[in-house]
Amino acid sequence: MDITSLISPESVVPSLKATSKKQALQELAKYAATLTGLHERAVFDVLLERERLGSTGVGNGIGIPHGKLPQLTRLYGVFARLDRPIEFEAIDDQPVDLIFLLLAPESAGADHLKALARVSRLLRDKSMCEKLRATSTADGLYALLVASEAQAA
């Protein structure tokens, strides 16, 4: 599962403004709606539903909210760097400032898991996260995320 099959330059948000987890998910749902053609409320609802099962804040300032929607025909990703870290109920109780939203079709069983694993591996790399935090443009962030593919190959 390649990062390049999940995101495009248009799906990278260099400075998401949010003061809470709910607001961040609402803003990300707006971006995802424009990419997928779905209604932003449907995206937001599926993200909230997943968060009720347990936070997708995986630690070290990283959030990987995700969900499945029957209307999708492929996987979509949105990467966001937040203006300021926000409380996200992460497993390490640390605020989150990097979020990779992942949306999948309901039928995407193994592909959804592979995509989650790929994103998780990418964002576990401390030096990658430092570079992402130090980059303030969408093009720069996209280049970093895509460059990780070349290094992994």
Residues belonging to the active site: 66
User: Count of alpha carbons within 13 Å of 99, Cβ hemisphere only?
Assistant: 42
Helix (H), strand (E) at residue 42: helix 40-53
Q: What CA–CA distance (Å, rounded) separates 120 from 136?
A: 21
CB 56, CB 62: distance < 8 Å: no
Query: For residue 101, what are the CA distances in angstroms to 5, 33, 65, 92, 151?
Result: 14, 12, 5, 19, 22
Q: What CA–CA distance (Å, rounded) separates 153 from 99?
A: 24
